């Protein structure tokens, strides 16, 4: 049975639309570190991290009041020693910052306040490639999508620039940096291409 050009275009357009529609199902997960209390002393960060399985592309959100803590990405050695003097990346103590996990490896986060780190305010995150499985991983929570709207503050002098960076030491490049939660990661180039192709095919289909 022969197919007309219009029929072939119709099939191609439907397939691309299905890909675009189903793409959001593979979006990364956004985690609020520490759950509802956030990045604060007194929360068992190791227990919180053990409850989740993290994949490349997932986002960590560190909520805490401006100036009352900080988050540093460090090496394993500095993590174990609570050494805040050689950070790979820092959120600058701004609070309510996020980081996207870009590579499959272990990330080490500590509070930039040494006394807070020694009291347990540090987090070790094992990141897997998308599609990889983790043996004996706990069941996923009911919902990981959370509201990342930073709490209101009365301090009008909070700087808007995020991060003080140091050269990377052990984290693979491209290495992760902190950013304000109000800024979203750029759209996937593949998704953008699919949308553009869908629009083009729709125009061609209508003109046939």
CA dihedral 78, 80, 81, 86 (to 10 degrees): 10
For residue 16, being part of any structural domain is answered with no
Whichever domain contains 130, its CATH number is 2.60.40.420
Q: What is the pTM of this model?
A: 0.61
For residue 2, being part of any structural domain is answered with no
Domain containing residue 127: 25-184
Question: Is the pLDDT confidence value at 89 over 70?
Answer: yes
What value does the mean pLDDT take over residues 135-140? 44
Cα-based distances in Å from 168 to 11, 80, 206: 48, 18, 52
Query: Which of 18, 45, 19, 41 has its CA nearest to residue 31?
Result: 45
158 and 94 Cβ atoms separated by less than 8 Å: yes
Question: Is the pLDDT confidence value at 198 over 70?
Answer: no
For residue 189, being part of any structural domain is answered with no
**Digit-coded pLDDT (tens) for 141-168:** 444 444 444 444 444 443 333 443 333 3
Q: What pLDDT, on the 0 to 100 scale, is given for residue 177?
A: 84
How many domains are there within the chain? Answer: 1
For residue 78, being part of any structural domain is answered with yes
188 pLDDT band (50/70/90 cuts)?
very low
**Digit-coded pLDDT (tens) for 111-130:** 999 999 999 999 999 999 98
34 and 40 Cβ atoms separated by less than 8 Å: yes
For residue 50, being part of any structural domain is answered with yes
Cα 16 from chain centre: 27
């Amino acid at each position: 049975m022969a197919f007309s050009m219009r029929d072939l275009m119709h099939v191609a357009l439907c397939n691309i639309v299905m890909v675009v529609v189903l793409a959001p199902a593979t979006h990364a997960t956004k985690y609020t570190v520490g759950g509802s209390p956030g990045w604060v002393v007194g929360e068992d960060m190791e227990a919180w991290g053990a409850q989740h399985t993290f994949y490349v592309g997932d986002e960590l959100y560190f909520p805490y009041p401006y100036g009352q803590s900080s988050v540093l990405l460090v090496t394993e050695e500095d993590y174990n020693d609570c050494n805040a003097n050689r950070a790979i990346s820092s959120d600058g103590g701004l609070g309510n910052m996020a980081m996207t996990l870009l590579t499959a490896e272990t990330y080490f986060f500590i509070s930039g306040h040494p006394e807070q780190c020694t009291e347990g305010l540090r987090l070790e995150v094992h990141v897997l490639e998308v599609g990889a499985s983790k043996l004996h991983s706990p069941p996923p929570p009911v919902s990981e999508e959370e509201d990342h709207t930073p709490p209101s503050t009365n301090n009008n002098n909070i700087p808007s620039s995020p991060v003080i960076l140091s050269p990377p030491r052990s984290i693979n490049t491209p290495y992760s940096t902190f950013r304000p939660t109000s800024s979203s990661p750029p759209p996937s180039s593949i998704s953008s291409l699919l949308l553009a192709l869908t629009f083009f095919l729709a125009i061609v289909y209508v003109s046939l």
